[in-house]
Structure formats: structure tokens, C-alpha cells
Structure 1
């Protein structure tokens, strides 16, 4: 019987993927674990590598790029386990007894629908992995390291694939809150996300990432916030982009803001179909929750 489904979507990051899969080898030997991978039309040999080394597992090869969020919907829906473990292709576990800790936590906390892992972001390993953090209910979770209770995934609408990148976790978080299903930060489960955040600003896709980040926030306001709150939230987000980036010389943000505005207009029909607004009382209760734990650093 499959208890745990490990799901990964990848594109043109064969070396990162090899590292991640190698780190999972001991887990994949278990009969209660399945692995599902979507390759989003890679051109770096990823498909040949997977066909040769992981042919016993569920492999999906897109004949065109369909995007991260679309792929996550496919993986989560196809998974057979009670618990769906979502990892990025450049992320791996650093803690021990991961599967046992996942199952134990869900069994003891029936109100929890998603586990948000503790995540260390860096190309290098942390100088220590111990933490004084304790489990708590939080607003949301991070895509690179989280675990769904499968029945909770099935209880809400799937991720909006038209977001393309960014925002899908918040979308799910809002939907879960409306269903009285909780998200818990569980620091016992530590994930190493092997990225250099500072270097990302120098990559050629920085503008695209920024555009998608801004617009996803706006999509979420229109989908979930009471109408009276939306103008103020949009204006404040624009002000913060100007203050924190444009006024400090990053004029690329102006282009991203204009593009995000066009994207918002074009997706108004999608927003109308999916809108699920908070009441003012619900929004107030949601905002009382602890913020999403995105970055963890070792205590000095």
C-alpha cells in the first residue's frame, strides 16, 4: 500500500535533479513510497537520464512546456499516497526519519491539511541544523518543501495554472482556511533549498519572475479580498515596489508593474470564475495567524 508520494517537477536542471534524486534513494527503496516526476520539456538530457535510471517510477514527459503550476496539479492528482511530499528539483531533506515524522504529525494533528517544512535557502549547508522552533499554525507554505494530506488537496480547487509561477501556495492557503483546514509549520522536517537568492537578481529571467510575483499578489486580492479592500491593497503594493526598488535605482520594476497590470486585465475572466471572497470577519481571523515561515537561519 502506498502511503507516501514524492512529487517533483523539473526543467533543464539535470545536475540539480540528480543530486535531489540521489538524496532520496533510501526512501525510494520502501514499498510504501512512490516517486512521480514531470519533465517540462527539458533539452539538457533530463528525459534520457530519467528513462535510464528511474524507469520503474512514474515519469511524465511534456511535449511542450506547460509550467510549474500545471505540472504540480498533475502530480498531486495522480499521486496514490495518503501524504504527498512536494520537493523542488533543487531541494533535499536534511533531517532524519522524514517519513515517520510526517505520518506521526498528521496522525496526531487531524486538523492539519498541509505541513510546511523548515527551509534553509543557500548553496551551502547550514553550519548547524538544530532549531528551537516549535510547531505552530501558520498562514501558508512554500512550494519547494511541503506535504499535503491527500484528502485535503482533493477538498479544494486545484492550483490556478494560469498563474504560471508564484502565488499558487497562497491560493491554496486561502481555500484551505475557508474550509477550516489548517497549515502547520513543522520544523522537525528540514529541507535544504539549494539556491542563491542574491544571484537570482542577476539572471536574465529576473524581470519575468518579478512580473509574475507582482501579478500573483494582485490576482489573489481580486480573488479573495472584500471589494472594499482591493484598491488600497493594490496601491500599497505599487507604492512598496516604488519605494523599495525603483527609488533605489532598479527601473526594471516599472516595466514589470506595467506588464503585471496588463496580465491582471487579461485574466479578469479567470478571476471571476474562481472568486471566493473572505468576509471581513474571515479576513480578520486569517490575518491573526502567524506568517508563512519562508526562510530559516540557524540560531547563532
Structure 2
């Protein structure tokens, strides 16, 4: 098996079906596989029989994105793992060849981050026209909606962390472990995926208190697990979020307090996963160009 496509899905059967139909046009099932993890959502079960070429894992209980990925990736057999969101699909017919060639040209490359083209388009050609012509560069992160990682590199890490839940943290955790192993992460914008999100609707939604709470919680855990000296980063993060959000909005304030005390209460269990990376890795990460998250 050369390539494994891996998708975690929850309550979006129509989006998932579209993604799977797009993938079917690109893959050769004799050398490629598609694995899907249904994360505790019964309505997705209705489409399983429509895609009998997919390797399904159906969890009755919702695990959340990162633990679900951790479970799914253990089942993959390909030499290269390609991670996609259930509402994201490749935009070019040479997608697979370009991923393989990029890895073959760089023995120290661990992860390829794709260009994320956000939006709802009438066709893939239209999405490509909205993408950007950018130069590739080495970076410190990747986006879960579209990336590739060598199997041997992923297995050398601890995998997607089970101590992180939705909204931020799982990709930076894997990325930091990959960098600590001495591998590089390449942002390759010529490899494009359409992340089919309604950009206008997201902007109109305004404040997202749920996202704020989970991102803050996961960021604190990230520092506590990986940083050799995490106290300064934790204090700085708390102070920044208190000034920018909690001090100005009562709902943000309640979410901030909830995260603060839950982190203190769960500190012993969080520290069970502590595995500080080398100080050199942190310095190298800071010197890398940040990821261009979207077109």
C-alpha cells in the first residue's frame, strides 16, 4: 500500500460523500486506501453502504478529533499518510504524484503542508482560480484539513495527542515532535485542497466562545507538555487572553476562569504526558517562517 487517505468525520455526511466521490476519481485501490473514522454520529452511518471501498471505523462514542485521528492512523498501511477534513478535497489530477515526488526529492522531509483554498466554488477550476501562486518554504506547522506525513515519521512520534480535543493543538503537537526528530515541514502551495467552508458565513458568526475556550485550554496543555520551561509561556498566554478577551466580555471571562481552574485541577494528569523537546527545537521553530494558513 503506497498511500493512505485518512478522514475523521462528525455529522457532515453530505460533505463527506462529496469528498469521497472526489477521491474516487484520483485513487487506484490496488495501491491506495481510504480510511474514515465516524466520530459518534449516527446519521453518517446511512452512507456507509454507498462507499464499500472505504475502510470504515464507526465509534458510537464521540472521541473528539485528535483522539479519533490517533485511533485511525494506527490502522493505516500506506507509506504516506494524507490527512483531509471531511469537507476538503484535492484540486488537481496530479495531486498524488506531486506528493510522492516532493517526498522523494527530500529525504529529511517529514510533513508536507498543502495550500488551503477556503470557500464554496462552482467547480474545482473556479477554486484553482481563487488560489494563490506562492513559493514553497520550510515552516513549523501544518493544517489538518490538508497535509501529508511519512508513515515512518508519524510512527516515530507519539502520534496525534489524546490529551487534546477540538480546536487547535493537535497539529502543532505533531509538528513539534517531527521537528524535534530532525525532520522538516514544507509548505508546498502548489499542492492545493479546497476546504469547502462558507467564508462569509464564518465572518458573520462573530465571536466564538466555544472555540476560544478550547483553543486556550489546548494551548496551555501544549506548553506544559512540550516546553522545557513552560511557566513563562503559560503566564504570558493567560495574561494575553485575559487582557484581550476576558477583561472585555463577560462570557469570555467565564470561559477564561473555567479553563484556568480546570487546568490547575487536571495538572497532574496533563503532566503524565509531559515530554519536553530540546531547547534547540524551540529556537529553530521560532526562526521558521509561519504557515500561510489559507488562500
Match of 2:240 in 1: 240
Q: Map 1:102-251; keep pairs closer than 5 Å.
A: 102-124=99-121, 126=127, 128-129=129-130, 131-165=132-166, 166-196=168-198, 199-200=201-202, 206-227=208-229, 230-246=230-246, 250-251=249-250
1:38 and 2:40 aligned: no
Deviation at 1:246, TM superposition (A): 4.6
- TM-score normalized with structure 2 length: 0.89
Deviation at 1:67, TM superposition (A): 1.5
Counterpart Cα distance in 1 of 2:90 and 2:23: 8
Counterpart Cα distance in 1 of 2:285 and 2:149: 20
1:8–1:204: structure 2 CA closer, same or farther, 3 Å change rule? farther
Match of 1:93 in 2: 90
Match of 2:77 in 1: 80
* SS of 1:161 mapped into structure 2: coil
Counterpart Cα distance in 2 of 1:14 and 1:293: 29
1:255–1:199: structure 2 CA closer, same or farther, 3 Å change rule? farther
CA deviation digits over 1:192-219, x for unaligned, max 9? 1112356457779943322111111111
Contact persistence 2:8–2:37 (CA under 8 A): yes
Match of 1:27 in 2: 26
Gaps of 5+ in 2: none
Match of 1:12 in 2: 11
* SS of 1:162 mapped into structure 2: coil
Counterpart Cα distance in 2 of 1:144 and 1:126: 16
Contact persistence 1:116–1:146 (CA under 8 A): yes
* SS of 2:26 mapped into structure 1: helix
Counterpart Cα distance in 2 of 1:135 and 1:207: 34
Deviation at 1:56, TM superposition (A): 2.8
Match of 1:271 in 2: 270
CA deviation digits over 1:19-49, x for unaligned, max 9? 11121121244421111111112132x1121
- TM-score normalized with structure 1 length: 0.88
Counterpart Cα distance in 2 of 1:261 and 1:273: 19
Q: 1:49 aligns with which of 42, 47, 50?
A: 47
CA deviation digits over 1:112-137, x for unaligned, max 9? 11111111222345472564322221
